[in-house]
Amino acid sequence: KFTMIAVMDKILSLSEGGDGPGELQQYLSSLSNDQLIKVLTNAALKGKNIGATIKGIFKGSPHNDPKGSDRRLLLYQHFIPLCESGDLQSEVAADIIGLLMLEAPNLSGACLAEVASHFVEAIKSGKMASGKSLELFPSVLTALAACESLSFGKGNYWYSPLSSALARWEPKCVIHLTTMFRDVPLSPEELQFLVEKVLRMFSKLELQEVPPLIYQLLLLSAKGCKKQVLDGIIGYFNEQDLQQKAEQERGESMELEVQAIPKDQLRHVEGTAILHIVFAIRLDHDLGREFLKSLKVTTFSNLCPFGVALLLSVARIQRYEDQVFELLKGAITKSFRDEFLKQGSKMLKDLFPECCSVAQMIRDTVSNSVFGWDHVTQGLVQLGFFLMDTFGPKPGPFGKPAESGPSGAARTPNQQACLLGRQVLLEGFKMHEPIRGEILEQVLNRLVTKTASPVHHYIDLFSDIVVSAPMILLESASKVTETFDNLSYLPLATVQGLLKAVQPLLKVSMSLKDSLILVLRKAMFSSQLDGRKSAVTGFLLLLKNFKVLGSLASSQASQGISSSQIQVDVHSRYNSAANEAFCLEILSGLRRCLGQQADVRLMLYEGFYDVLRRNSQLASSIMQTLLSQLRRYYEPEQDLMPPVKLEPCITAQGDQVFLQEPLGHLLSCTVHSLLWLQSQRPLARPNDSDDEEAEDDEEGGYKSELMAILDSVTRRLVKSELEDFELDKSAEFSTASSVGVKNSIYAVLVMGVYEVLLEYNFIKANYSKSGLEELLELFQRYQKLAEILKEKSGKGRTSAKPPRSLLSMGFVSKLLTTLFRDSTLSREEGLSVLRSSPDFLRYALAVALQKIQQLEDSGHTDGPDGHAPDKAFGFLCDLTGVLMWRYTNIPGAVEAGGKKEKRCSLSQMCLEGLLRIFTTCTQRYPDRTAQLLTSDDITEISFFYIRQFQRSLFNQLSGLEEEFNSKEAQLLISILSVLSRQLEPSSQQFVSMITWTVKICKETSFEDIAFTKGLLSLLFGLHALYKSPVSLMLELCQDIHSQMGDIDQVPSVTDMDWLIAKKKADRPSGPLTAPPQDPVEKAMTVQLGTLLTALNELVQTALLPGGGTDTLLRALSRTYTTLTTLVKYYIQVCTSQPGALPTRFEKLVRLSGSHLTPQCYSFITFVQTGELAGNDKKKKRRDEASMAKLLRETKAIPNLIFSIEQYEKFLITLSKKSKVNLMQYMKLSTSRDFRINAATLEAALQEQDASQEAEDTPPQPQKKKRKKK
């Protein structure tokens, strides 16, 4: 120990003083390597004078001296492992490494190579765990690179740290090595090798070690390989997600909970990684640009939940925000559109069985964000509103909101994208407290500000939030209260939706209810009509939802609160007694509205019935209100005709006449309320039938008085003539005069009264013959007035739309069931009265059709239960059964007078009703079609119905052509088309359907264009779901000779366009070798080849001028455009992969050039000149001028020529790229040299002079001559 100190002191004294470096050099040479190492180790461990000692040894070891050079190498070889051992203090180790780094440039080339070799061996053997000495490695490599010549190893071998010497790394060294290489100068190839190496090491590390490595890798990416780094990180986490998901599914199926990677740990690591990447992108904008660029050039196949989360985090950087959301918008719409296209094409499904669902990735990102991904949540909110704003329903014509109720299912890609945005926001609201306030505020702001656009999708979102998290929402009740203040300025539909959505909150928050009542009372006296209507809407909703004690239970009263989170705390002053006082107060306010405009009164009449059903204790007050209102228009004198006063029902302002009292709706509300109360009394008190009089007295006597009024009105209306109303045939109904308008209003009012009384008297008659005879007389009066109104108002217009019927949908359903299917003997005599009237049967069916159409268009119908979806669906089920029975059991042939009167037969009306029902059900109730057809197996029951309609169509086609009912056949085809969509394409029933359709097409020879078009559309639609329809199209085209309907080839070409675009986007950017037999390319070529052959058949057909010719020209143009797209794709292929042109494609080019293109030019010549050959000489000049005008106006021919020339232009480019002479198959035609036909031109000019149209543009040749090459 004394000797070590003496040696060290000697070295220090000689280095600081002495006679010069020679003496120090001589002394060091006298020491052995072991002695020197002992001295240095001792000094390093104690941390005393180690730096000065090392400096002294370097001073006494000149690098040009062999011994000095060896001594220097000894220092490096000793201190590198010593620093890594961890025995030294960190400050001492840092000082030592610093000194060694300073002296590294002074080492000889051989020594540098030796040190590098030492590092390499240490890395390979995993001895670089702490990584302290790795800071020295870049200095050694840099010095090694600066050596002009190196007599060690194989030249520059030691400078390449990424060659096989570093092929094996220990996982514990990876982070330190990656940090170290940031300071090493690397060539692009070496950097790429290094990045690949590090990315491969991800899977060998512990999960917690990945984020630090990602951080170092991102810093390293400043040198290059940014795309590779980002793709590798995203790919790694995508793989981890898939692995974790598979383990979770496997664990659930085996009822195990063992996971290799805990889900929460993985999510936290992903969150940290996202933070590192976003931080790196903030510092290096090139990294951000590369990230977005790599996503733009792909088909989004590399998107994954982690990638989506990363995108949403990057969106917080302002410069990338718009780009990110546009990119996500494109990915989402493409994903939905691809799925939409695949659903309609069996070929696309087979070629691409699985497509990545971007929507599912976004949903996964939302669920993953619950693990502390606060940096992602803001992006989720922005994305949700971006999708809802961009893809929500648009305003209809003239700024009116489009009639598209929220009850329809999301079918189109845009609707699905909007629904996705809604789901993202709802889940975000439930999961993340910090963003709840912002989501709620933005939703309510949009309800208030977007008055010119439909907002029902935002109302749906708000309603979902209320139902799923009502107590959470109450924390932000002030925002809802602020929205209430704007109620009187909002569109009525918005107010209705908002108040309906907020109902559950009103039951648990008194302050919210009180603030709403204040706003509604204020709106009741608004100067704006819409404001008063909003007040009425709000008060009616409150009346429906605040039940009074003792109210009868109603199946409709269950709309209250459906969430388990709500528990109503009934306070002493917030009970049913308080509710009763509250409801009566509201009713007294609503009575004042009965003196306002017709629209306000109409809302009251439509709402009172629902209020009565939910709150039957208010019956007396409501019925007294209706009775007093009805007395105003009832004529009490029994001998006076008519029994109703029409003059008070209208009001005049100057010359204009307006409806003041919707009398039919008043009567309808009264009758339906009365009937419902009568139907409930036996249920409530079955044993008290003797107490009716006492009960009526208790109810204020309204029941007997109302019944007396209704009986009196019925009796007198039967006796009244139209002259009593001054509405006979001599009356004026012109809308141009005030008298005509007044009479039209009167007529509609009287017809409404008739209809309401029809419904009342049918129920009251209870199938008695006398009662139904009286009802039929009422109907005859109604029909007479309806015919006069139709005749008078229809003049000068193509058709007059009948007013909406006031019959309820439930009654229409019951009436038709009774008329067509009731076989009870006791009712037979009475029902025969109605069944013997074809006009009454036709009227009942017409009203049913009207109601079904209204349900399809808006999602609800007028009258009782019209706004209850379940009730409406029940009526549809009843109507389906009765219409189906009527159509299949009573053939149209046995109906008398159907064809003579040029009206639809009852069978045809039944058929039209069935078509509308099936269409409505698929749109409004897509998940309940099986229930509509009364079965659990949708495929089996649909096929049962299909067979019924197939039999009917076959019977139609089996008769003579003169007896063929084209309209009925078209309806049958439409129904078959709708029902066939319910079949599973892989089922045997679907195959049977196709076989039957092909058979009908082959055997039918009726010349009915509309029927033929429908039948072919059905055939092609079915084939597209079963297999590609081009082979079928080829067979069909071969059979067509001189006549052709409008055959639509576009779907097949659309599939080709989609396939080419997908192949183009899926191609790797590098020069990778593709498989020799790509199934997608093969399918594209085969499909296009068959299509070209089919078109070749058609262009050789002598088609008559008209729509068929124009359609064929457009189809040809579209086909050549698709061929051009395919050629461009192969140009891209040959650019990166020379000699990769498939033989199949060459055959396709030969087919197009030698067969189709010459025939196209012949067809163009035929279209231009062929039609004139057979014309009559007297009309020749005029017809020539007409043809010239037609050719001048049409764009089909020049578009086709342009498409052909574009195709040939890109073929020339492809020939040069592929070194294959594809133009040898192209034959240039003189048909494209469009010369001016002098005779035709002269005829056109003479025609212009004769008709004095000198101001028109003179005919110009629109085709240019092709340059001769």
Neighbours of 521 (CB within 10 A): 14
pLDDT range class, residue 566, cuts 50, 70, 90: very low
User: Looking at residue 834, what is its pLDDT?
Assistant: 92
User: Looking at residue 402, what is its pLDDT?
Assistant: 52
Interhelix angle 1238-1250/1180-1193, nearest 10 degrees: 100
236-246: average pLDDT: 87
355: left (phi over 0), alpha (psi -120 to 50) or beta: beta
| DSSP track, 340-390 | HHHHT-HHHHHH-S----HHHHHHHHHHHTTTT-HHHHHHHHHHHHHHHHH
Interhelix angle 663-684/619-631, nearest 10 degrees: 150
| 733 three-class SS | coil
Residues with Cβ < 8 Å from 108, sequence gap 6 or more? 63, 69
Neighbours of 430 (CB within 10 A): 16
Neighbours of 941 (CB within 10 A): 19
Cα–Cα dist 670/830, whole Å: 26
Q: Are 838 and 822 in contact (CB under 8 A)?
A: no
pLDDT, tens digit, for every residue of 246-260?
887 776 655 555 556
Two tokens at 366?
């939302």
Query: Is residue 628 scored above 60 in pLDDT?
Result: yes
Cα–Cα dist 900/892, whole Å: 13
798-808: average pLDDT: 75
Q: Which residue in this structure is represented by tokens 């020295």?
A: 136
For residues 617 and 555, the model is more confident at: 617
Give the DSSP letter of residue 644.
B
Nearest to residue 981, comparing CAs of 1024, 1039, 924? 1024
CA dihedral 725, 731, 736, 739 (to 10 degrees): -40
Residue at 834: amino acid letter = L
21: left (phi over 0), alpha (psi -120 to 50) or beta: alpha
User: Looking at residue 699, what is its pLDDT?
Assistant: 54
- Is the N-terminal amide bond of 1261 cis, ω within 30° of 0? no
pLDDT range class, residue 1141, cuts 50, 70, 90: confident
Cα–Cα dist 27/22, whole Å: 9
pLDDT range class, residue 168, cuts 50, 70, 90: low
Mean pLDDT check: name the lowest of 131-135, 313-317, 783-787. Answer: 131-135
User: Looking at residue 759, what is its pLDDT?
Assistant: 94
Cα–Cα dist 993/1012, whole Å: 17
Element (H, E) at 659: strand 656-659
Mean pLDDT check: name the lowest of 36-50, 170-184, 1062-1076. Answer: 1062-1076
Mean pLDDT check: name the lowest of 418-422, 467-471, 631-635, 1184-1188. Answer: 1184-1188
Mean pLDDT check: name the lowest of 995-1004, 1020-1029, 1069-1078, 1205-1214. Answer: 1069-1078
Residues with Cβ < 8 Å from 685, sequence gap 6 or more? 691
CA distances to 1126, 1173, 1181, 1249 from 1188, in Å? 35, 14, 11, 15
Query: Is residue 570 scored above 50 in pLDDT?
Result: no
User: Looking at residue 1055, what is its pLDDT?
Assistant: 64
Q: What is the mean pLDDT of the chain?
A: 78
Q: What is the chain's alpha carbon radius of gyration, rounded to the nearest angstrom?
A: 43
Two tokens at 568?
């109503």
Nearest to residue 166, comparing CAs of 196, 144, 187? 196
User: Looking at residue 1073, what is its pLDDT?
Assistant: 46
Q: Which residue in this structure is represented by tokens 């001189």?
A: 1042
For residues 1222 and 1249, the model is more confident at: 1222
User: Looking at residue 673, what is its pLDDT?
Assistant: 93
pLDDT, tens digit, for every residue of 288-309?
988 888 887 665 666 788 889 9
CA distances to 308, 599, 1054 from 358, in Å? 9, 47, 22
**What are the two backbone dihedrals, phi and then psi, of residue 395, each rounded to the nearest 5 degrees?**
-60, 150
Nearest to residue 402, comparing CAs of 852, 858, 856, 917? 858
pLDDT range class, residue 344, cuts 50, 70, 90: confident
Q: Which residues of 583-608 are buried (b: 16+ CB within 10 A; e: fewer)?
A: beebbebbbebbebbbebbbbbbbbb
pLDDT range class, residue 1267, cuts 50, 70, 90: very low
For residues 22 and 987, the model is more confident at: 987
Interhelix angle 456-468/492-506, nearest 10 degrees: 0
Q: Are 44 and 88 in contact (CB under 8 A)?
A: yes
Two tokens at 957?
């086609």
Q: Are 64 and 24 in contact (CB under 8 A)?
A: no
For residues 829 and 800, the model is more confident at: 829
pLDDT, tens digit, for every residue of 354-399?
667 888 889 888 988 888 888 898 999 999 999 999 998 887 665 5
Mean pLDDT check: name the lowest of 66-80, 179-193, 901-915, 1185-1199. Answer: 1185-1199
User: Looking at residue 247, what is its pLDDT?
Assistant: 81
User: Looking at residue 836, what is its pLDDT?
Assistant: 92
Two tokens at 648?
């008070």
Two tokens at 529?
């009509």
The residue count of the chain comes to 1269
pLDDT, tens digit, for every residue of 1031-1067?
666 666 666 534 443 334 444 566 667 666 666 666 5
Rounded to two decimals, the pTM is 0.77
* pLDDT > 90: percent of the chain: 19
Query: Is residue 1123 scored above 80 in pLDDT?
Result: yes
Give the DSSP letter of residue 1073.
P
831-840: average pLDDT: 92
Mean pLDDT check: name the lowest of 197-211, 509-523, 613-627, 1063-1077. Answer: 1063-1077
Two tokens at 97?
């490494």
Nearest to residue 272, comparing CAs of 320, 331, 231, 218? 218
| 658 three-class SS | strand
Q: Are 324 and 292 in contact (CB under 8 A)?
A: yes
| 652 three-class SS | strand
Residue at 8: amino acid letter = M
Cα–Cα dist 966/957, whole Å: 10
Give the DSSP letter of residue 882.
H
pLDDT, tens digit, for every residue of 1156-1208?
888 888 888 877 765 444 444 434 555 555 555 455 446 778 888 888 888 88
Query: Is residue 245 scored above 70 in pLDDT?
Result: yes
Q: Is the dihedral of CA 296, 302, 303, 307 positive or negative?
A: negative
Residues with Cβ < 8 Å from 739, sequence gap 6 or more? 732
> How much of the chain is in helix, strand and coil states, percent to nearest 5?
70, 0, 25
User: Looking at residue 410, what is its pLDDT?
Assistant: 66
